Structure 1
């Protein structure tokens, strides 16, 4: 037996233990250990039942990420689980923590399953561009039926042990000691004379249902909600094999489809997104022994949508938070806004009433800065105006205790200037949340010129505690995300002046995989916000940097997006569905004429290049300036904050996949055609001429 998997006989029960910290991943040693241990238990005449338990905080949580991208080693997981299921002695998987991916496939190959009440199970392979490749698509439908199996496998979302018990994935729930529960279940099986019950032999859940219709409906849903994604449709094909083919043939079909996913370019992008999200939290020049300040309480300045969303993040993490507003009325509205937002989650069934009350008990409203004297961290979330920020930070400096962290949620203003409004700039850091803050995962942690190491370390730790993807960035106009999105938005508006329509541009980018097109996004956020940033930048730009004029013309016409019911699109009352704006063509014609441009049809490829290459070129400049630590951090920011498709890997990964020589050559053409904005980034030019990639950095 291996060191990570052990076998011990306790009377008539063989106990197989997996101990491969931290998550009992299915590396080669675990696979060998499981195969050998089950074979040994099967060969022992004294053994009447087998109990599989895992040490530590979890059952087998999936594949070993250290083996990703390496040649497979035998035995593979399909061979191991087939051997387990083929055994003649009843086997029981005792699940705690999470049984995910291959972990659930191992559990499904055992003849019985019990789970601790707080456990979760799932098959998340689709999130890495794969499908369950060790029988998951064949065994799960035989346990829960085709409809639920499709939902679980295509979404990749885990389910609770309680739901798993209701569905029949697990046979019993328990509290307390794992081994005691497993042995008690095994002893009952022995006493009742129950033997092996092989999942792969079951057909009852596959009968009496129009499974073909369920498959067709799921395919249509994927086409609508996940256009262009490779693995979800293969997941459906694999599940389809569970009711159209015998088990052995279904397993063979599953492996064929798994192989197709394995070689898909999308898989490489999704794996990149998976690994780089974890890498982004590492600050390269921050000593590992940097102390972290204790944050037991927080304050938020501003009770608008953003401020309340930020406050909810702290309450969700169990941290008491005070929302400061300018009046009793505004304070009460902020608290009401938080309750209403939680209430929507209760209506959807994603939050209980008890949880709502528990979180609201952590949220309080105040109107006096003096009431922030005891908090450990404050987040300023007021209007984007430097004069307003100055008043806030001077008040915080005067009222907050020594050692309190003073942070700003500014999305573009100079954090160093903000820090200098205090006598303690070393305690100032940027915490740039994304709207809605209680939903969006991204948090840009902005490191000022004087931000101390322990404040930066604390900010990164708080991001993790708030369950955010925290990425460290430097100070510049817009930091990483908004600085790049400005280029993207500007080019999309130039495309309208040249002859495109909002629907065409949005359609091209949605087809690429973006969550929203740039014009639907502008309508959602409000055209006045983009216009204010545009006007501020217009004051500082030299003449060769021309800007589109469309936003100003639309604002003059009262078209500010969804808030006025009319923007790049029009919206019927109470609806967010974008409809064609019949007044827009005249505005576009006027803008084109003013710029001296003859409108003409534009190809979809041209539109995609103009928008994506603008992102890439600016990303290269950001890297060269040290605003982002690494190219993959930019990818993480764009995937988690700007709706960039994870199956494209992020803008910098996408550039690498195209080839930087090709990207650079096209940017040079755009520079010649469209002027100063398109001057190639020196780093991009260097890498392209050396035949290298951003990833090589």
Structure 2
């Protein structure tokens, strides 16, 4: 950093010493991360501002598309190098002349903390702010937990710091996080504010008092945050620090914050969440596809206006696509249109969407009867009943309607996509796009390629996922692909546990204590028991007669109990509330009697270890069969599709950290008791025997 660097120079921080208001510009592509060179440059620039008598105020701004968007991920896991970010930020706040932050794009983590330490903040209307450290198992480490409450109060600060969520500029203005929104020229507006502040008392954030919260209310709030965290440590620690800001001076609060930050940085949970962070990015990079161009897609057709079809339509409309939904009857089409409108109306009612934005998105969705209206589409996705012949018949129809180059996608959860593709004249253009319900909310998208799917069709799936803001995992064809195949296996183990002595609510409670948002039986009720029932009936003719089979779920379906949608499944639902049902308890006990099993109390840790063993063993089989190429693909599917706690890093990452021998022992024990389906996967045996790990 030099005092008067020219724009052509490569320093990541430049001081433009115009009088009376200078500009410090951070230029560290792609996101102006707070690398060691940026920290050094900022500290030198602030010191020069203090020294230079011609400079009476300074604006901090960033080149490129964003303000400082966080830490330099290349420094993750390394020992911190001086100057440390807290020292740089303290120097900004201690500057003897007004410092105004000019914020565009995102101010995240350390970037938000830089803004907090400035004496004033001006933001573009599209800017956003956040302290997302809890998502990496950390807390802010440069004063965020101490300065934010001093600006916006304890209640709002607790929300932002413990959730890690971003806030847009308009909300930031309401909260008091920013002083002004730019009306056009951000830097000029920031310079004007800096001029106004010359000669005025400096508004140092760290010197502001914090109104304390009632002790009982604070304790209740902290307890609520820990409960919602479901075992994650960082949100609770962050809450404690925010609450301390009301009773400690800034210096002492920052010392406690730094101590907590360093403690968490070396924790297992932070290692797991960092793995999850990098895995989410790595899944989009598939070997061999780097130079493959995706096909252009703007017009999308969706066949089926049920729950899944409607959710998929909303996801594409939200991303700016031209969407057309088709059905076979006026009644089904009208029901789908109402379903989509209701989702948008609820978003408007909750304040997440404006009425104008809702109307604009609704205008992008057209409706029609029959598939003939889809002849101009670039992509058609079927979301019809989960029956192989129904889907094959539909694809024969579409094959005769759609022009060459149109991609045909199926949203099937389990079926063999190769058999669906085989009835068309274009199997190379067929791919699975398996959305998870609700499709407009869930982030995961399984992209399923057959042996004949071309590389550019897979690349198109990845491109679509990016536009839809989904997290894609590319896999090959097998029954249930990645997620549902693993789910089927651990749901079987849960049913074995039922026969041996546990009840549905006890198994669900054990898995929720493990960190899942819902247990397997509550999930089944939410998804609908009829879907898995149809699969079991389809597979019945080929089931190994030696395999242990539990028919409790079949009996529930035969009684018309399909879950929440019928008011009863594994549980009874009164007014939407889940309740233990004696009818189910009786079915479970009768099943134990038929099998001749003496029921026993099964502790939560045994439930957890058996479910974990089922997940890891099946995941290893999926790797052995090359359904996916990398363990991280499985981890991402399980975290984003099935609620595996991210603070554990996914089942295979966790298996490496806790050791594979106990899991292998559990698998072998189950194989002895339960029979076929429990043979240890080659990958699991090999890793356990050799001591090698999935993650070097």
Distance in 2 (alpha carbons) for counterparts of 1:210 and 1:683? 53
C-alpha contact 1:660 1:692 (8 A) present in aligned 2: no
- Secondary structure of the equivalent of 1:544? coil
Residue of structure 1 aligned with 2:318, choices 293, 309, 316: 316
Matching residue of 2:244: 241
CA distance in structure 1 between the partners assigned to 2:395 and 2:203 by the alignment: 67
The residue number in structure 2 matching 1:227 is: 230
TM-score by length of 2: 0.97
Looking at structure 2, the residues matched to 661 and 367 of structure 1 have their Cα atoms a distance apart, in angstroms, of: 57
2:350 corresponds in structure 1 to 348
Alignment of 1:424-463 (within 5 A): 424-463=426-465
> How many angstroms apart in 2 are the aligned matches of 1:106 and 1:642?
37
For 1:279 and 1:154, locate their aligned partners in 2 and report how far apart those are by CA, in whole Å: 26
- C-alpha separation between the residues in 1 aligned to 2:552 and 2:432? 32
CA contact (8 A) 2:528 2:563 kept: yes
Residues 1:280 and 2:319 are matched in the alignment:
no
| 1:248-259 correspondence runs (5 A) | 248-259=251-262
Q: Give, in whole Å, the separation in 2 of the partners of 1:211 and 1:107.
A: 29
Question: Are the equivalent residues in 1 in contact too, given 2:660–2:688 (CA < 8 A)?
Answer: yes
Contact 2:226 2:235 in 1 (8 A): no
- Structure 1 residue ranges without an equivalent (≥5): none
Per-residue deviation, 1:554? 2.0
Aligned equivalents of 1:630, 1:537: Cα separation in 2: 28
2 CA distance for matches of 1:414 and 1:255?
53
Corresponding residue of 1:54: 62
> 1:146, 1:211 within 8 Å by CA — same for their partners in 2?
no
Deviation at 1:611, TM superposition (A): 1.0
Distance 1:215 1:56 in 2: 41
2:213 alignment partner, one of 185, 202, 210: 210
Matched residue, 1:70: 78
| Corresponding residue of 2:126 | 118
- Offset at residue 211 of structure 1 (A): 4.8
Matches within 5 A, 1:160-171: 160-171=168-179
Alignment of 1:189-208 (within 5 A): 189-190=197-198, 193-203=199-209, 206-207=210-211
User: Is the CA contact (8 Å cut-off) linking 1:60 and 1:100 kept in structure 2?
Assistant: yes
Could you tell me which residue of structure 2 aligns to residue 25 of structure 1?
A: 33
Task: Indicate the residue corresponding to 2:5 in structure 1.
Answer: none
- Is the partner of 2:245 in helix, strand or coil? helix
TM-score, with length taken from structure 1: 0.97
Paired position in structure 2 for 1:128: 136
Q: CA deviation at 1:164?
A: 1.3
Is residue 5 from structure 1 mapped to residue 7 from structure 2 by the alignment? no
SS at match of 1:694: coil
1:510-551 per-position Cα deviation (integer Å, ceiling 9, x unaligned): 000101101111112222222221222222122222221111
Distance 2:128 2:251 in 1: 28
1:382 corresponds, among 378, 381, 384, to 384
* Superposed structure 1 runs of 4+ greater than 6 Å apart: none
CA change 1:316–1:51 in 2 (3 A) is: same
Alpha-carbon distance, 1:168 to partner: 1.6
Q: CA deviation at 1:213?
A: 4.0
Once residues 526 and 458 of structure 1 are traced to their aligned partners in structure 2, the CA distance between those partners, rounded to angstroms, is 31
Q: Contact 1:379–1:406 (CA<8 Å) still a contact in 2?
A: yes
User: Once the 2 structures are TM-superposed, how far is the Cα of residue 259 of structure 1 from its aligned partner?
Assistant: 2.0
Give me the whole-angstrom Cα distance separating, in 2, the residues matched to 1:163 and 1:369.
44
Name the residue aligned to 2:6: none
CA contact (8 A) 1:91 1:112 kept: yes
Question: Which residue matches 1:632?
Answer: 632
Matching of residues 507-586 of structure 1 within 5 Å: 507-572=509-574, 574-575=575-576, 577-586=577-586
| 2:666 match | 666
> 2:601 maps to what in 1?
601
1:150-173 Cα offsets, whole Å, 9 max, x none, are 111011111111121122211111
Q: What is the CA deviation profile of residues 283-312 of structure 1, one whole-angstrom value per residue up to 9, with x for unaligned ones?
A: 1232x2212111111000101010011011
Mapped contact 1:284–1:629 kept (Cα < 8 A): no
Partner of 1:610: 610
Contact 1:374 1:400 in 2 (8 A): yes
Per the alignment, residue 177 of structure 1 pairs with 185
The equivalent residue for 1:39 is 47
Which moved further from structure 2: 425-434 or 256-265?
A: 256-265
Partner deviation per Cα, 1:473-504 (whole Å, 9 max, x = no partner): 11000000000100011110110011101111
What secondary structure does 1:695 align onto?
coil
Q: SS in structure 2 opposite 1:515?
A: coil
Q: Secondary structure at the match of 1:465?
A: helix
Contact 1:89 1:195 in 2 (8 A): no
Written as runs of structure 1 = structure 2, the 5 A alignment for 1:383-422 is 383-422=385-424
Aligned to 1:141: 149
2:160 pairs with 1:157? no
Tell me which of 371, 374, 384 is aligned to 2:373.
371
**Aligned residues of 1:644 and 1:650 also touching (Cα < 8 A):** yes
Q: Secondary structure at the match of 1:21?
A: coil
SS of aligned partner of 1:571 = strand
Q: How many residues align?
A: 688
2:329 aligned with 1:327: yes
Q: Is the Cα–Cα contact under 8 Å of residues 16 and 24 in structure 2 kept in the other structure? A: yes
* Distance apart, 1:260 and its partner CA: 2.2
Question: How much has 1:612 moved relative to structure 2?
Answer: 1.2
Distance in 1 (alpha carbons) for counterparts of 2:221 and 2:586: 42
| Deviating more after overlay: 136-145 vs 236-245 | 236-245
* SS of match in other structure, 2:15: strand
Please say if residues 222 and 240 of structure 2, whose CA atoms lie closer than 8 Å, have aligned partners that are also in contact: no
Offset of residue 214 of structure 1: 4.3
Partner of 2:98: 90
Q: Of 487, 490, 512, which aligns to 2:489?
A: 487
User: Does residue 307 of structure 1 match 2:309?
Assistant: yes
**Partner of residue 100, structure 1:** 108
* Alpha carbons of structure 1 residues 20 and 663: separation in structure 2 relative to 1, 3 Å: same
Runs (5+) with no aligned partner, structure 2: 3-10
The 8 Å contact of residues 53 and 178 in structure 1, kept in 2 or not, is answered as no
**What is the alpha-carbon distance in structure 2 between the residues aligned to residue 167 and residue 590 of structure 1?**
58
Q: Deviations over 1:126-150 (max 9, x none)?
A: 1111111100111111110111111
Aligned to 1:655: 655
Cα distance in structure 2, aligned partners of 1:502 and 1:13: 67
How far off is 1:177 after superposition?
A: 2.7
